[in-house]
Structure 1
Amino acid sequence: MRAVVVREFGGPEVMELVEVPLPQPGRGQVRVRVAAAAVNPVDAVTRSGLLAGAGLMAPRAVTGLGWDVAGTVEAVGPGVTELAPGQRVVGLHDRLDTDLGTYAEHVVLDAGTLAPAPAGAGFAQAATLPLNGLTADQALDLLGLPAGSTVLVTGAAGAVGGFVVELAALRGLRVVALAGPDDEQLVRGLGAEWFVPRTAPDLAAAVRELVPGGVDGAVDAALLGVRALGAVRGRGAFVAVAAGSAPPALRGIRVTNVWITADGPALTRLSALAADGRLTLRVADTLPLEQAADAHRRQEAGGLRGRLVLTP
């Protein structure tokens, strides 16, 4: 089968499309025939070597790329009873230290990381859900705010931020969305009560004008760090969504970092919300597997609304 890997770190040009043996599922595992694999920022920082340089992954000869997958169950290993060949599924490959990721024609995952694909959604749409949806859900869990609380979401028009806005609104939180000046209609449609353009010269002042005293918490999908922290009230809560982006815990604010983990039951719940139209699945474009390097270049250029998706 074909798969995209890197043997040395660098720009998109280091990505190789190679032929590798078909992986076989072990006990408790499932082989999925990949129909779609979303392209995420973590793929680029893996490819570039930033994660290895930060000590988040051990050196290895070959590194697979890709976290998100949507496809069809093709084979199950011993002990798997809840899934059967032919089922449409979504899943998350949450390990960095493997030879193969989801940029491939087939991938083997633990059965517990998979969920039914959202009913009514195409595979490309479904592939945008696992990593970004679970990151948003787990970030809000870490925030731990009761219904009626106020929360700032930076990068609210992005893939993670958009899910945070929708899930926060579903939890009864009142959302201040920070996004591009042209994104106000989009984020309000996702459930934001207030809007602040990211061009605001003083983010904290703009948020505090809307919510006197500051918001109860923030999910920092745009990685603004201390700029966003200033909008949070004393002894509030702050969640960073990427390694190294968490600011210091000033003014007694509880600062945490979401370290994403695969979670089949939570993904099943998110899939049902997407099927009901309460989570929006956004695809910027689809590309064949052999154009993975082009997908990385487009992602790194910025300006996308939704995810690029590879379709093996």
Structure 2
Amino acid sequence: MRAVVIRSFGGPEVLETVDVPVPAAGPGQVRIRVEAAGVNPVDAATRTGMLVEFGLTTAREVQGVGWDVAGVVDEVGPGVEAFTPGDRVIGVSDRLDVPHAGYAEQIVLDADAVAPAPRNATPAEAATIPLNGLTAAQALDLAGLQEGQTLLVTGAAGAVGGYAVELAAARGLRVVAVAGAADEETVRKLGAEFFVPRGADLSASVRALVPGGAHGAIDAAVVGLPALDAVRGGGSFVAVIGGAAPLPLRGIRVANVWVRADGARLAELVRLVDGGRLTPRVAGTLPLAEAATAHQRLAEGGFRGRLVLLP
């Protein structure tokens, strides 16, 4: 089968499409024929060697790339009862130290990292859900806010931020969304009650809308201290990038979300998608062999949603 791998760190040009043996599903695992694989910023961090530099994984001779997949189960290992060959599924590969990952024609995942695919989404749309949806959901858990409280979401028009806005609104939180001025209509449709344009004095703007400051923040845009300053004393702040959490000033609870695979939680997100309450957004699709082009576009930015590779 074909897979995209890294043999040396660097720019998009180091991504290689190679032939590798078809993996077999072991005990408690399923093998998925990949129809779509999401392209995420963490993939670029893998490619450049940043994850090795930060001690999050070891250097390998061959390194796999890609977290998000949507596809069809084509083999189940011993002990798996929840899935059978032919099931359409989505899943997340959250292990970093592997020879190949989501950018591949087939992948083996633990069955508890997989959920039935949404009925009302294409494979490309479905592939945008696992990593970004779970990051948003687990960040909301860490924020620990109650219905009626106010949540600041930076990068609210992005993939993680957009899911965070919708999930927060579904929990009855009042969302202050930060995004580009052109994205105001989009984030309000996702459920934001308040809007602050990117580039404004964040703390002053939020406090003008919410006297005393927001009860919590999810910093999807890695704004850092200005977002922290928009949170009231004793509130909560969640960073979505490892090492990006500021110091816990004014008694604010500060945490990093270290996303983990969770098939049961993923199934909850799928139900929201099928119910029209969670919105996958695809910025564009490319063939698997054009992974380098996808990474070039990822670096350029300027799009909403996620790029998706189609094996």
**Which range, TM-score by smaller chain?**
over 0.9
Give, in whole Å, the separation in 1 of the partners of 2:117 and 2:102. 16
- Tell me the amino acid that sits aligned with residue 26 of structure 1: G
Q: Is the 8 A contact 2:143 2:216 kept in 1?
A: yes
1:257 aligned residue? 256
1:56 aligned residue? 56
Q: Is the 8 A contact 1:181 1:199 kept in 2?
A: no
**1:1-312 equivalence runs, <5 A:** 1-200=1-200, 202-312=201-311
Give the C-alpha shift of residue 244 in structure 1.
Answer: 1.3
Give, in whole Å, the separation in 1 of the partners of 2:81 and 2:33. 18
SS at match of 1:107: strand
Give the C-alpha shift of residue 160 in structure 1.
Answer: 0.2
- Tell me the amino acid that sits aligned with residue 225 of structure 1: G
Q: Is the 8 A contact 2:196 2:205 kept in 1?
A: yes
Cα deviation digits, residues 6-42 of structure 1 (max 9, x gap): 0111110001000000000100000000000000000
Q: Is the 8 A contact 1:37 1:127 kept in 2?
A: yes
Give, in whole Å, the separation in 2 of the partners of 1:118 and 1:225. 34
Give, in whole Å, the separation in 1 of the partners of 2:166 and 2:63. 34
Give the C-alpha shift of residue 199 in structure 1.
Answer: 1.8
Moved more, 51-60 or 215-224: 51-60
Give, in whole Å, the separation in 1 of the partners of 2:289 and 2:26. 28
Give, in whole Å, the separation in 1 of the partners of 2:213 and 2:82. 46
Give, in whole Å, the separation in 2 of the partners of 1:224 and 1:21. 43
SS at match of 1:300: helix
Give the C-alpha shift of residue 166 in structure 1.
Answer: 0.1
- Tell me the amino acid that sits aligned with residue 191 of structure 1: G
- Structure 2 gap segments, 5+ residues each: none
Give the C-alpha shift of residue 227 in structure 1.
Answer: 1.2
Cα deviation digits, residues 195-222 of structure 1 (max 9, x gap): 000121x110011000010000000000
SS at match of 1:90: strand
SS at match of 1:85: coil
Give, in whole Å, the separation in 2 of the partners of 1:138 and 1:290. 32
SS at match of 1:248: coil
Give the C-alpha shift of residue 142 in structure 1.
Answer: 0.4
- Tell me the amino acid that sits aligned with residue 280 of structure 1: T
Give, in whole Å, the separation in 2 of the partners of 1:116 and 1:124. 15
Give, in whole Å, the separation in 1 of the partners of 2:113 and 2:218. 24
Q: Is the 8 A contact 2:91 2:130 kept in 1?
A: yes
- Tell me the amino acid that sits aligned with residue 222 of structure 2: L
The percent identity for this pair of structures is: 65
Give the C-alpha shift of residue 136 in structure 1.
Answer: 0.2
Give, in whole Å, the separation in 1 of the partners of 2:66 and 2:195. 33
SS at match of 2:267: helix
Give the C-alpha shift of residue 50 in structure 1.
Answer: 0.8
Q: Is the 8 A contact 2:120 2:273 kept in 1?
A: no
Give, in whole Å, the separation in 2 of the partners of 1:279 and 1:54. 33
Give, in whole Å, the separation in 2 of the partners of 1:180 and 1:120. 29
- Structure 1 gap segments, 5+ residues each: none
Give the C-alpha shift of residue 172 in structure 1.
Answer: 0.5
Q: Is the 8 A contact 1:4 1:65 kept in 2?
A: yes
Give the C-alpha shift of residue 288 in structure 1.
Answer: 0.2
Give the C-alpha shift of residue 59 in structure 1.
Answer: 1.4
- Tell me the amino acid that sits aligned with residue 204 of structure 1: S
Cα deviation digits, residues 78-119 of structure 1 (max 9, x gap): 111110000000000001100011100000000011001011
| TM-score relative to the length of structure 2 | 0.99
Q: Is the 8 A contact 1:283 1:306 kept in 2?
A: yes
Give the C-alpha shift of residue 125 in structure 1.
Answer: 0.4
